């Protein structure tokens, strides 16, 4: 699998080497689709069980939020 560089242009200018799956996840984080829905699509596209992908993605998403690559958005009350 190819690795790609994800880099911030502002702030501390963090950069991370990521695989295409993480890059796809970050690309889909625009605040309009819940993370669980994005993971479901990625799991189906990559033929991975959703619970397995969710377990692996948890620490990665936490790290990406910590570094500022993505922002946590509170779910709207419905």
Task: Report pLDDT digits (tens) over 9-39.
Answer: 998 999 999 999 999 999 999 888 899 999 9
Q: Is the dihedral of CA 73, 35, 59, 22 positive or negative?
A: negative
| The pair of three-digit structure tokens given for residue 58, joined into one six-digit string | 């948890």
Task: Report pLDDT digits (tens) over 53-71.
Answer: 999 999 999 999 999 999 9
- Helices (H) and strands (E) counted in the chain, each on its own, are 3, 2
E strand or H helix that includes residue 16: strand 15-18
Quick one: pLDDT band at residue 78, thresholds 50, 70, 90?
Answer: very low
């Amino acid at each position: 699998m190819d690795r790609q560089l994800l880099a911030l242009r502002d702030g501390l200018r963090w950069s991370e080497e990521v695989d295409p799956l993480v890059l796809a996840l970050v690309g889909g984080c625009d605040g309009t689709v819940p993370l669980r829905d994005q993971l479901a699509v990625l799991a189906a596209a990559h033929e991975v069980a959703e619970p397995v992908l969710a377990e692996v993605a948890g620490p990665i998403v936490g790290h990406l939020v910590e570094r500022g690559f993505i922002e946590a958005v509170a779910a709207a009350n419905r």
